[in-house]
Amino acid sequence: MSPLPFLILLLISLPFQVISQNHSTADEHTILLKLKQQLGNPPSLQSWNSTSSPCDWPEIVCTGNSVTEILLPSKNITQKIPATICDLKNLTTLNLGDNFISGEFPRQLYNCTKLQVLNLSLNHFVGPIPDDIDRISGLRFLRLGYNNFSGDIPPAIGRLSE
Ligand SMILES: *[C@@H]1O[C@H](CO)[C@@H](O)[C@H](O)[C@H]1NC(C)=O
Ligand SMILES: *[C@@H]1O[C@H](CO)[C@@H](O)[C@H](O)[C@H]1NC(C)=O
Ligand SMILES: *[C@@H]1O[C@H](CO)[C@@H](O)[C@H](O)[C@H]1NC(C)=O
Ligand SMILES: *[C@@H]1O[C@H](CO)[C@@H](O)[C@H](O)[C@H]1NC(C)=O
Ligand SMILES: *[C@@H]1O[C@H](CO)[C@@H](O)[C@H](O)[C@H]1NC(C)=O
Ligand SMILES: *[C@@H]1O[C@H](CO)[C@@H](O)[C@H](O)[C@H]1NC(C)=O
Ligand SMILES: *[C@@H]1O[C@H](CO)[C@@H](O)[C@H](O)[C@H]1NC(C)=O
């Protein structure tokens, strides 16, 4: 077989590879802008716009072009945590400490399959610490202090193996 068809195939597929390489970043940009909107466009997130790259935003940490950390301590956030956040498939760290978030423990975070660090301290959360919290199986740092959680510490805490 002559190498020519291969060469042609390579030349055709190259541009697609270049486009698809940062396709996920474009997706994550869209997800973050949606997230900002769902959080009620807090003035503290002014730098989150469509022209700047998310990896350059002070509240975002990227690893290999993909969003891995969202750091939003003391941002005057009042809205509940949108389920959209788990569309960021590589998210490992979420810090929402020192905000004004109310309601029950955000079980929607169970869909953040790579989550390792969760800081919800200093908010207005109420109700029980869920008895299936170990569904965030990779969790290794959990901060829930200074809220209004009630009830016992569930055995599920002890099943978090990390
Ligand atoms: C991919 O990145 C390049 C350079 O960083 C940029 O010019 C291009 O618009 C990006 N493409 C997409 C689909 O985001
Ligand atoms: C949060 O709100 C308070 C009171 O309105 C304001 O002084 C403070 O600058 C705000 N913080 C941020 C990060 O926007
Ligand atoms: C977008 O945000 C960046 C900082 O992240 C800022 O420098 C730039 O001026 C903003 N652009 C617009 C159109 O608001
Ligand atoms: C998550 O990270 C992996 C490895 O760094 C990468 O291959 C993948 O594209 C990332 N996923 C997204 C949605 O960016
Ligand atoms: C968790 O959030 C609280 C409140 O912002 C902060 O004091 C603390 O340092 C945070 N801990 C970590 C490890 O991020
Ligand atoms: C996780 O995502 C799936 C699919 O989007 C959804 O059906 C499910 O309710 C979510 N689970 C939680 C705990 O939010
Ligand atoms: C904490 O929550 C309990 C119910 O779960 C409620 O009775 C109590 O008033 C709350 N306390 C504060 C300070 O919000």
Confidence (pLDDT) at 68: 97
Q: Cα(137)–Cα(45) distance, rounded to whole angstroms?
A: 30
Residue 4 in this model has a pLDDT that exceeds 90:
no
Which numbered atom of ligand 7 lies nearest the CA of 150? Answer: 5
Q: Which of 32, 46, 50, 51 to mutate to test the pocket of ligand 3 (most atoms within 8 A of CB)?
A: 51
Residue 18 in this model has a pLDDT that exceeds 90:
no
Lowest mean pLDDT among 1-5, 93-97, 137-141: 1-5
Kindly give the distance from the C-alpha atom of residue 75 to the centroid of ligand 2, in angstroms, as a whole number: 7
Considering only CA atoms, which of 121, 71, 130 is closest in space to residue 101? Answer: 121
Our answer on whether the CB atom of 79 is closer than 6 Å to any ligand 6 atom is no
Residue 143 in this model has a pLDDT that exceeds 70:
yes
pLDDT, tens digit, 9 for 90 and up, residues 19-60: 444 444 789 999 999 999 999 999 999 999 999 999 999 999
Confidence (pLDDT) at 9: 59
Residue 28 DSSP code? H
Confidence (pLDDT) at 26: 80
Our answer on whether the CB atom of 64 is closer than 6 Å to any ligand 4 atom is yes
Residue 88 in this model has a pLDDT that exceeds 60:
yes
Kindly give the distance from the C-alpha atom of residue 37 to the centroid of ligand 6, in angstroms, as a whole number: 20
Confidence (pLDDT) at 17: 47
- Dihedral sign computed on CA atoms, order 56, 58, 63, 67: negative
Which numbered atom of ligand 4 lies nearest the CA of 89? Answer: 13
Our answer on whether the CB atom of 89 is closer than 6 Å to any ligand 4 atom is yes
Kindly give the distance from the C-alpha atom of residue 108 to the centroid of ligand 6, in angstroms, as a whole number: 7
Is 111 within 8 Å of 88 (Cβ atoms)?
Answer: no
Which numbered atom of ligand 2 lies nearest the CA of 44? Answer: 14
- pTM, to two decimals: 0.81
pLDDT band at 160; cut points 50, 70, 90: very high
Which numbered atom of ligand 4 lies nearest the CA of 25? Answer: 14
Which tokens belong to 114?
């790579």
For residues 9 and 144, which has the higher predicted lDDT (pLDDT)? 144
The second-level CATH assignment, the architecture, of 4-159 is Alpha-Beta Horseshoe (3.80)
Q: Cα(137)–Cα(122) distance, rounded to whole angstroms?
A: 24
Is 140 within 8 Å of 160 (Cβ atoms)?
Answer: yes
Confidence (pLDDT) at 108: 97
Residue with tokens 């490992």: 92
